[in-house]
Chain A
Amino acid sequence: MISLTSFLNKKTIIFFAGLLLLFGCATGKEATKENLPGMGEQFLIAVLPMENLSGTAVPLREIRGALIEGLKARGIHVLQDDTLEKFMAKHRIRYTGGIDKITAREFKDEINCQGVLITSLELYNDTNPPKIALTSRLVSTGDNPVILWIDGIGLAGDESPGILGLGLIEDPKMLQRKALNYLLDSLRESLSGQKESKGLEVKRKFRPKISYRSPLMEGKREYTVAVVPFFNKSDRKYGAEIMSLHFVRHLKEFEGFDVIEPGLVRQQFLTLRIIMDQGVSLADAQAIFSMLNVDLVVTGQVLDYQDYQGSFGKPKVDFTAEVIERKSREVVWSSTSYNQGDDGVFFFDWGKVNTAYGMAHQMVRSIGKLMAK
């Protein structure tokens, strides 16, 4: 009898251990499937209508059309426009700058779409020299939407004029094509599983002018990050949204940070009815920590985000960033960054940055670098 009991006990242990192991395997498989759904195989993407953060009238349909054509040319399957329109009308989706959990689930369940491409146009200027700035990200669908890929580019027609101005781009369409090609190639590389060999070099002049990094922030730990809306005190419309996107993009570049899809953050803000007066209070931060299960909340203020028209002028970017940590409920990073396009430029505009996007890109990346140290 005793031997039978011990035999049964052994069997039970093996049975439960087996079950546990199976569960472990199942979760692992599911997570991979969820996060990287069929990369390289049949991967259907829904291209959401572009979000216009430029504050000006822009031929969005035309640019989106070119983006879809580019995707198809690279062998990426794109969801038919009429199907997408019907889906958006059915679910009353008006916000196209991100997706929430419910929408992501519906995308997967209803139209079996594996990814949603969200593109924000941050600058569009067709006067000579033309300028364009775009940020695009691919978000997975299903129960746990995650950012699979994010990249962006800011270009100006007079960025590299070359000898006798041979490198000047005067046609806005040509510049648009160049920007889209960069984004599409980057996306294709990511989808095909090619390892991104992006250098994360930043010029010294773009480092934050004042910065504080708390000893509570551990360099080797992986943090889940929510970038909450910045405060816009600049004259640029949507300056805060643009800066938030820069942080999402650049923090995602570092292995130590897992950035939450901004659409999820926005949804939680609406659900919790958080109205920020001047910044994120500790009570707001606590609510975000628990609802989104994140370790860090990134916020800040945009004081200047200026672009210029024509050939003469210089862009200006001035912002502060603040990071609050979950466990300590303290500010673990705080910095002030400001730059102008001609900083450190002495001869023939050599080294000049012509778009605020180009500058903010380096400034935010340098913050990410210092935070990830």
Chain B
Amino acid sequence: MKKLFGPLKILFFLVPLLLSACATTDIYRDPNMDFGAIQTIAVMPFLNLTRDNIAGERVRDVFINKLLSTGAVYVLPIGEVARGIARAEIQNPAAPSQEEVVKLSGLIKAQAVVTGVVKEYGEVRSGTTSANIISISLQIMEGTTGKVVWTASTTKGGISIWDRLLGGGGRPMNDITDKAIDDLINKLFK
């Protein structure tokens, strides 16, 4: 009896250990970066990889407002960022180079620059079921060095088991966008 419990006990402790080792994270955070020093942020236009032409702008607007409403940082007006992009002559504002980030930050006096990619935005179908989905990834670059100090991604919505069983088309797009942005902001302030 004792012999039988011996290996079981070991397994019982070993499995959670092994599982936790398998767990991965979709966040990168520069350990040397003092995020508390960031007071002003510029949010660049997001790269839109979806079929919706203004998905990038929709998500960017929600992100800016959510970030402002936390009260933790000040986000520069989008018009000011656009002016900075024009003055810094950034060719691809959605994916600026390290030098471009440094130049832009100096011009508009931002301590960090946020870039983002909207990978999915809208309806997905599987058989007869459909639901809304959003997938975003963000990165923050330090203004003085242009180094990436934080990245994270999130996916919300999609077809759940309940959608398959009951139908209904999933949650509205705006609600899912809110959830996704909340998730990213939680990851940022964690």
Contacts and interface: CB of A to CB of B under 8 A. Distances in A.
B68 interface: yes
B83 interface: yes
A75 B61 CA distance: 49
A44 interface: no
A233 B86 CA distance: 21
Nearest to A215: B71
A109 to B, nearest CB: 38
Given A211-B69, A277-B86, A303-B54, A320 B77 contact: no
A212 B63 CA distance: 12
Nearest to B86: A277
Interface string B21-63: 0000000000000000000000001000000001001100110
Given A303-B54, A318-B174, A331-B75, A282 B80 contact: yes
B79 A211 contact: no
B66 interface: yes
A331 B77 CA distance: 7
A338 interface: yes
Interface in B79-115: 79-83, 86
B186 to A, nearest CB: 15
Q: Is the interface of B mostly helix, strand, loop or mixed?
A: helix
A233 B174 contact: no
A142 B102 CA distance: 51
A281 B82 CA distance: 8
A277 B83 contact: yes
Given A282-B80, A283-B83, A318-B174, A303 B75 contact: no
Contact of B65 (A211, A281, A284): A211
Contacts of B65: 210-212, 320, 334-336
Interface residues of B, number: 25
Contact of A280 (B61, B69, B79): B79
A212 B77 CA distance: 13
Nearest to A331: B77
Contacts of A285: 77, 79
B57 A324 contact: no
B79 A279 contact: yes
Interface string A102-128: 000000000000000000000000000
B129 to A, nearest CB: 22
A301 interface: yes
A197 interface: no
B53 to A, nearest CB: 8
Interface string A269-291: 00000001111111111000000
Contacts of B64: 334
B178 interface: yes
Contacts of B75: 331, 334
A203 interface: no
Nearest to A279: B79
A281 B74 contact: no
18 contacts: A209-B174, A209-B178, A211-B65, A276-B79, A277-B82, A278-B79, A278-B82, A279-B80, A282-B80, A301-B61, A303-B58, A303-B61, A320-B65, A322-B77, A331-B75, A331-B76, A331-B77, A334-B69
Interface of B: 45, 54, 57-58, 61-62, 64-66, 68-69, 71, 74-83, 86, 174, 178
